Structure 1
Amino acid sequence: MNLPNKITISRIFLIPLFMIFFLVPFSIGDIHLLGTTIPLAHFIGAIIFIIAAATDWLDGYYARKYQLVTNLGKFLDPLADKLLITAALIALVELQLLPAWIAIVIISREFAVTGIRLVAAADGDVIAASQLGKLKTVSQIVAISALMLHNWPFQAISLPFDMIAIYIATFLTIVSGIEYFQKNQHILLKSK
């Protein structure tokens, strides 16, 4: 297994770690940043989430730079992204930091896209992420990070950046999903 794929797998292994900090009901105090109070466990969980999300850029960088792009990587990378995003969304809904309908829209799109990827894989095809799909992932990571950090540092200036970001991410999720189905409708038609 090459280095980019190992980095991708490390992203999957970081998910339970950030979930423990973010969801386990223990208090290790609060952190005060520019007028925002964040539970320290949430702050640590958010940092782990951000590190895990950054590995998405890192594995892609190494895969392209050293020509280590593999079919396994094309499959694992978006799967790791979906697992990370899904876990974070569910955690945010659990803590009532995110409306459930937004999580449902985003997760539903991810399941639908994964379904098409599986149908394509059964035929020996691997579908790489599009540029719009990558932008969608970045917007989701930014929005989720802002929500996990309780809108820091924007809370100090009463700007609801976290909610603006999650609405933008939801919009891009829907648009990229439509694009994905349009570009890959031949896979569904072929499988009939």
Structure 2
Amino acid sequence: MTLANKLTLLRVALIPVFVLVFYLPYKWSYVASALIFSIAAATDWLDGYLARKLNQSTPFGAFLDPVADKLMVATALVLLVDLHDHRLFTIAAAIIIGREIAVSALREWMAELGQRGNVAVNYVGKIKTTAQMAAIIVLLAFDVEEFPVMETIGYILLYVAAALTLWTMVVYLRAAWPALNGEDSSPS
């Protein structure tokens, strides 16, 4: 069990703690849940860095890392949808969660064809992830009734993340279209 894999497992273990803290009936639960999410986001970066730097990449880590990321983000978005009862917010969260499921399935299918590289993470995807993480942290950290400006900032960041989510999904689908359309099923 590598250090990178332990950090990924920590991220998964933080999910129930995150949910519990989110629902605590105290003012500090906002900041505490944002802190837990921030720690999870930092471990996402750190476990990838350590796996590469220490040459500790493993098949288990390659599988679990994206699953842990998607579980934490989906959990946070579902909790925030409950807190922010707005249609546009719900639509943005559904776009982000739906895209993650669709692109994960697409990557898995392309990997079976030996073409996973055609749907690799790109630079816009990294910007999307940054906007998404920042939005979630802002929306978790502040009581929206006390800090309406922070709610607006969080919403803007989430809508930017949702737009970039759609954009990156289109990019991935266009790259995979020949294989999806049956035009090219040979490994690249």
- TM bucket (normalised to shorter chain) is 0.7 to 0.9
1:142 pairs, out of 131, 134, 157, with 134
Contact 1:71 1:126 survives alignment (8 Å)? no
Q: Are 1:168 and 2:166 matched, yes or no?
A: no
CA 1:159–1:137 in structure 2 vs 1: closer, same or farther (change >3 Å)?
A: closer
Q: Are 1:18 and 2:10 matched, yes or no?
A: no
Contact 2:99 2:169 survives alignment (8 Å)? yes
Q: Displacement of 1:149 after TM fit?
A: 1.4
Contact 2:142 2:150 survives alignment (8 Å)? no
d(CA) in 2 for partners of 1:71, 1:186: 28
Q: Displacement of 1:17 after TM fit?
A: 0.8
Q: Displacement of 1:157 after TM fit?
A: 6.5
CA 1:150–1:159 in structure 2 vs 1: closer, same or farther (change >3 Å)?
A: closer
d(CA) in 2 for partners of 1:177, 1:53: 22
1:32-111 residue pairs with structure 2 within 5 A? 40-96=28-84, 99-111=89-101
Structure 1 length-normalised TM:
0.79
- Greater fraction helix: 2
Q: Displacement of 1:133 after TM fit?
A: 2.0
Structure 2 length-normalised TM:
0.81
d(CA) in 2 for partners of 1:184, 1:13: 34
Amino acid at match of 1:108: G
d(CA) in 1 for partners of 2:110, 2:149: 47
Amino acid at match of 1:22: F
Q: Are 1:185 and 2:142 matched, yes or no?
A: no
SS at match of 2:17: helix
Gap runs ≥5 in structure 2: none
Amino acid at match of 2:167: V
Q: Displacement of 1:93 after TM fit?
A: 0.5
Aligned length: 178
Contact 1:116 1:187 survives alignment (8 Å)? no
CA 1:76–1:182 in structure 2 vs 1: closer, same or farther (change >3 Å)?
A: farther
Q: Are 1:131 and 2:123 matched, yes or no?
A: yes
Amino acid at match of 1:82: K
Q: Are 1:114 and 2:95 matched, yes or no?
A: no
Give the % identical residues: 40
Cα-Cα RMSD: 2.7
44-53 or 70-79, larger mean C-alpha shift: 70-79
SS at match of 2:134: helix
Residues 106-140 of structure 1: CA deviation (Å, up to 9, x unaligned): 11101101111232344566555333222222211
66-75 or 6-15, larger mean C-alpha shift: 66-75
1:27 matched residue in structure 2: 25
d(CA) in 2 for partners of 1:92, 1:62: 31
